[in-house]
Structure 1
């Protein structure tokens, strides 16, 4: 799909048109049904947009699997959601065809896949790995982070489900990461403000710092790693987790964090001569810059090129491969990082 097309605007417009056309039906829903419908429509439209932009239908199917499980509560029926999805995809097709003059057969194909997946009882609920926490645990930990609690909740390790897992990798990947994803959803839904989301990030960083101090550290191995967000990516927490894990593994790390320019990244590679370089992206629109930087590193440091790692949210939720972003490896988790550096 041509990523220069205004996909998100078209999808949002399709949803607005659907609400207008079915206003009478929407008005008949009670408050709980309306709230559920509006919250899930935000998720649905974002999933459709990402699936079209990335050319990866699994993004949408992961969401629909989760949605199907919530529909067991009979808040809004599968039939209503099927009508919503069919109407939205038809309006997306009409908008794209009117805009470009082309017929987008892949949109029709994606619609059929989505409808089949929503009604299928035995299709996978999600492709994400299972986490140690229950939904209520995530909500409780999220509440603590949003409130600014920066003390590590040791009592969470008293339960059998997380007992024995008190390592940095476990805390970061199985506790903090899913909780921050949940907090991100709350922010996107408008249920918390930007300051609350930022407070949660600060709290998470403070907790991880405590866990890092308590974690065993391997002897220094003299291997250097340079880390940076790709320009435009302001989400640093995941990159900080990678840095901490490398520090504990004996690596010498430099983290340029968010805000580093392409020239700055290349200059630090020339000065530090790292063995590995890791770059992080959050949104699909940042992937072209990721590819460009990877290509520039390959060209300018061809004789002593560092090993190239890529990671970040958009790479975690899509089937994009390392070769597609011109990296040597895609790191989706700290567990995956362990396999790379072992």
Structure 2
């Protein structure tokens, strides 16, 4: 299915038609990465381009975004609860950043792999993000930014989280990930995840690392 067709359904607020398409994909064997990266994400990008060119209004964009948010939640409920692996992730947008749908998909992918994932959504000031990280002690922190003038704030977040005592992995997502890393020497724990495919690969590698750690611990008993 073309992203344009699914975008039309989103703009039209056709919730059940959208859900029927997703159910059809799942029934055909599609996984979460396909649903998020090949269906929802390209449709929302197309909607963004329509808005930028004044083909649709901001009201249309809000209808589509709200429906996409609902579909993500409904799809995650369909997946059910995965066995917990004891790992924690906190996921947030830097202050001023309002585009959080991609990060909500990221949270769903983490949970599908057994992580306890806290989705803090859009526009979280650093002081509150840091306080939460200090008290909750996540193993990974995902940051998202999509607007260039938020990059100075992103640097502040990376520097602050890089000084946390538990040394969580810091995952940077969004279309500005590569330009940010190209102009800045990032800390060793910073992991570029410009797309959901890169995130899925990182999660798979982390699961493999965890399995090796468990094997070593068992063999050392």
Q: Same fold (TM over 0.5)?
A: yes
What is the CA–CA distance in structure 2 between the aligned matches of 1:156 and 1:291, rounded to whole Å? 37
- 2:75: which partner in 1? 211
| Structure with larger Rg | 1
Change beyond 3 A, Cα 1:310–1:144: same
Which consecutive unaligned segments of at least 5 residues does structure 2 have?
Answer: 205-221
Q: Which TM-score applies when normalising by structure 1?
A: 0.54
1:1-342 equivalences under 5 Å are 133=1, 137-151=2-16, 152-155=18-21, 164-215=28-79, 217-299=81-163, 301=164, 303-315=165-177, 318=178, 320-321=180-181, 324=184, 326=186, 328-342=190-204
Bigger proportion of residues as strand: 2
On the 8 A contact 1:138/1:182 being kept in 2, the answer is yes
Distance 1:268 1:157, change over 3 A: closer
Runs of 4+ in 1 over 6 A off after TM superposition: 156-159
Q: 1:239 to 1:155 in 2, by over 3 A?
A: closer
Contact 2:72 2:104 in 1 (8 A): no
| Number of residue-to-residue matches in the alignment | 201
Contact 1:169/1:335 (8 A) holds in 2: yes
5+ long unaligned stretches in structure 1: 1-132
Larger RCO (CA within 8 A; separation ≥ 6) = 2
Could you tell me how far apart the structure 1 residues matched to 2:61 and 2:149 are? 22
TM-score, normalised relative to structure 2: 0.82
